[in-house]
Chain A
């Protein structure tokens, strides 16, 4: 009993901090999402109305919200596989015995992660400028017609995905590299003695043992990519024609630009539910897979 009490005593400070800085704000946002808190309510609380699920209902009828949700899914669906492929590829290259100057490349490939998104976005905006950017210059050398990278609604999101993948793959790369290094060398030796090719070694030794690490990296990347904000904020301001407006960007506009905190909270709750559902689905799929694979 006293051991239990002691445990609580040690836990209390942490729980207090968690409660005050995590639980209460989250609950506050949830409550706020059932009201029409806006500028007028800030002026006078008598102007605050309880609207129950009204904000959610309004969101369902707002094309801009569906569009933002669509853009977010587009970003996640294309960006996450690309990002994982890029980081796995880079990790394998760095892990390979043939690689030279490993420390240098590790640092160089990780550099975009630690550089601020805003500074990098400004540089990319120049690279992808329609008239003077290097990207179009390069295409011109290959004889390809210039592309309006950030000004064409069809190209803006792919450009942002490229930027985000380039910016973030180094982080996953480091984690995957650690995972690769943790695989015992004996397994590869055994495989080699059995005559396995490099591809089969990768397929049957590296990939299965890297499984848990890959899953964790995938979940982290998915939840990170659902919160797309800084890239469109700096590169395109959500445009052109709102083609790069993500749910988080819409929430920022509604909440902090126009001070409609009620509807912004509802958007935050919806985004949370979506992310929760996707992560749960990923966990469930992955927990089923090894069983099937072993059989």
Chain B
């Protein structure tokens, strides 16, 4: 009994002064290697990194908020941020940034920074960025008579047509029908917003979204992409290397995967290109993860010190080397490691043209719904017009509570 009590006391004593930092995914291991330097310069702060699997992250966060057991700080996908802001879980950071010399807002890619602002308040500092663009087989393109990757949809369509041979099970591009990022990237290239009236209703019946959906669905109807989900494609890298797909619309982590998984002889045959837009290089998705501090934390000052440390360009470059996650600061990209990397450069280019998704807590759900309806259009169950109307109908239902809350807040005022 005494032993147990002592043990418990010992454990709580150790936890009491540690800064608890939750990470989701492979970043946890990498950040653990960056921490010794931080703890050397801040001897009074002991950081305890707790790694959580990405698949359980969302549940874990909500449970922690419901049970009032949030950590001091965490890594957070920037599309989740509005949800946690709505839950009043995050501490505002504007004042700390204003007083800081280490974190300089103008140095960050503007749209990525904007994803951390909700109702004019800043709640997170971008940690790494993520956008989707084209991986392509330069040798296959050359064989088909194209010298450069596509710059707009017309060129892209022409290349997809030239590179698709459905009879031989060879397709221009791989677009898994259960991933929403691809269609969303095309939709963000349009001038119309995805939600309307202060994010109260869906705006999927806009001309712009229908244009994006038409391009997306046509790619399948013309048999330039196979109708498969990512569950069925167990090894997209090998298939890409084998030439089953000439294009792959995906994120920066795949640079590392392709370098690791493709044999040396094939390494010269692929590269990356910014996403082609309707007319000229187009916008893309502003994804990635931010560092946030929880409102309930008693160690917010220490948490901010760690955020400042992790935001330094040298530290971000080390982090890139460890994980392949791309830094959100322009000055971090000045290292030769990133500047001279041809495959990373396309991302640098794309990052200047990324657009954030609507900052509402329901967004993730709406995006998943959008993709489910789009998959039905791809399967031929719905026309583009019917699919757009169905998306609006479902989005309006998902946003019903938000409308009620906003209307109530207005009548109070």
Q: Using a CB–CB distance below 8 Å, which chain A residues touch chain B?
A: 36, 38-40, 42-44, 47, 49, 125-126, 129-130, 150-151, 153, 235-237, 239-242, 256-259
**8 contacting pairs across A/B (C-beta < 8 A):** A39-B87, A39-B361, A126-B234, A150-B232, A151-B228, A239-B178, A256-B59, A257-B59
Q: Contact at A240–B375, with CB atoms within 8 Å?
A: yes
Nearest-neighbor residue (CB-CB) of A36 within chain B: B401
Q: Which residues in B have their C-beta under 8 angstroms from that of A47? A: 401, 405
- Please give the distance in Å from A34's CB to the nearest CB on chain B: 16
Q: Which of A43, A129, A151, A241 contacts B381 (CB 8 A)?
A: A241
Chain A to chain B: the 3 pairs with minimum beta-carbon distance, closest first: A43-B87, A151-B232, A258-B365
CA distance A258 to B62 in the complex (A): 10
CA distance A39 to B82 in the complex (A): 11
Q: Which of B66, B178, B365 contacts A237 (CB 8 A)?
A: B178
CA distance A240 to B177 in the complex (A): 9
At the interface, yes or no: B86 with Cβ under 8 Å from chain A?
A: yes
Given A151-B229, A241-B375, are A42 and B65 also a contact pair (CB < 8 Å)?
yes
Q: Which of A36, A40, A241 contacts B379 (CB 8 A)?
A: A241
- Please give the distance in Å from A185's CB to the nearest CB on chain B: 51
- Please give the distance in Å from A270's CB to the nearest CB on chain B: 18
Q: Which residues in B have their C-beta under 8 angstroms from that of A49? A: 404
In the complex, which residues 224-260 of chain B have their Cβ closer than 8 Å to any Cβ of chain A?
227-229, 231-232, 234
- Please give the distance in Å from B197's CB to the nearest CB on chain A: 19
Among B65, B178, B232, find the residue whose CB has the most chain A CB atoms closer than 10 A: B232
Chain B residues with a Cβ closer than 8 Å to the other chain, count? 28
Q: Contact at A259–B62, with CB atoms within 8 Å?
A: yes
Q: Using a CB–CB distance below 8 Å, which chain B residues touch chain A?
A: 58-59, 62, 65-66, 83, 86-88, 177-178, 227-229, 231-232, 234, 361, 365, 372, 375-376, 379, 381, 401-402, 404-405
Given A40-B86, A43-B88, A47-B405, are A129 and B65 also a contact pair (CB < 8 Å)?
no
Among A36, A235, A237, A241, find the residue whose CB has the most chain B CB atoms closer than 10 A: A241
Q: Which of B62, B83, B231, B402 contacts A239 (CB 8 A)?
A: B231
Q: Which residues in A have their C-beta under 8 angstroms from that of B404? A: 49
Q: Which residues in A have their C-beta under 8 angstroms from that of B372? A: 241-242
Q: Contact at A130–B232, with CB atoms within 8 Å?
A: yes
Nearest-neighbor residue (CB-CB) of B86 within chain A: A43
Q: Contact at A38–B178, with CB atoms within 8 Å?
A: no
Q: Which residues in A have their C-beta under 8 angstroms from that of B177? A: 240
- Please give the distance in Å from B178's CB to the nearest CB on chain A: 6
Q: Contact at A42–B401, with CB atoms within 8 Å?
A: no
Count A/B pairs, Cβ under 8 Å. 63
CA distance A153 to B66 in the complex (A): 38
Nearest-neighbor residue (CB-CB) of A259 within chain B: B62
Q: Which residues in B have their C-beta under 8 angstroms from that of A44? A: 88
Q: Contact at A42–B66, with CB atoms within 8 Å?
A: yes
Q: Which residues in A have their C-beta under 8 angstroms from that of B228? A: 151
Q: Which residues in A have their C-beta under 8 angstroms from that of B231? A: 125, 150, 235-237, 239
Q: Contact at B365–A239, with CB atoms within 8 Å?
A: no
CA distance A125 to B65 in the complex (A): 36
Nearest-neighbor residue (CB-CB) of B381 within chain A: A241
Q: Which residues in A have their C-beta under 8 angstroms from that of B375? A: 239-241
Nearest-neighbor residue (CB-CB) of B379 within chain A: A241
Nearest-neighbor residue (CB-CB) of B178 within chain A: A239
Q: Which residues in B have their C-beta under 8 angstroms from that of A42? A: 62, 65-66, 87
Among A130, A151, A242, find the residue whose CB has the most chain B CB atoms closer than 10 A: A151
- Please give the distance in Å from B176's CB to the nearest CB on chain A: 10
Q: Which residues in B have their C-beta under 8 angstroms from that of A126? A: 234
CA distance A242 to B372 in the complex (A): 8
Q: Which residues in B have their C-beta under 8 angstroms from that of A242? A: 372
Given A38-B401, A40-B86, are A240 and B229 also a contact pair (CB < 8 Å)?
yes
CA distance A40 to B408 in the complex (A): 13
Among A130, A150, A240, A242, find the residue whose CB has the most chain B CB atoms closer than 10 A: A240
Nearest-neighbor residue (CB-CB) of B239 within chain A: A131
- Please give the distance in Å from A122's CB to the nearest CB on chain B: 10
- Please give the distance in Å from A156's CB to the nearest CB on chain B: 10
Q: Which residues in B have their C-beta under 8 angstroms from that of A151? A: 227-229, 232
CA distance A257 to B66 in the complex (A): 15
Q: Which residues in B have their C-beta under 8 angstroms from that of A153? A: 379
- Please give the distance in Å from A114's CB to the nearest CB on chain B: 25
Q: Which residues in B have their C-beta under 8 angstroms from that of A237? A: 178, 229, 231
Nearest-neighbor residue (CB-CB) of A132 within chain B: B234
- Please give the distance in Å from A117's CB to the nearest CB on chain B: 16
- Please give the distance in Å from B338's CB to the nearest CB on chain A: 35
CA distance A199 to B254 in the complex (A): 62
Given A47-B405, A240-B177, A241-B376, are A129 and B86 also a contact pair (CB < 8 Å)?
no
Q: Which residues in A have their C-beta under 8 angstroms from that of B401? A: 36, 38, 40, 47
- Please give the distance in Å from A254's CB to the nearest CB on chain B: 10
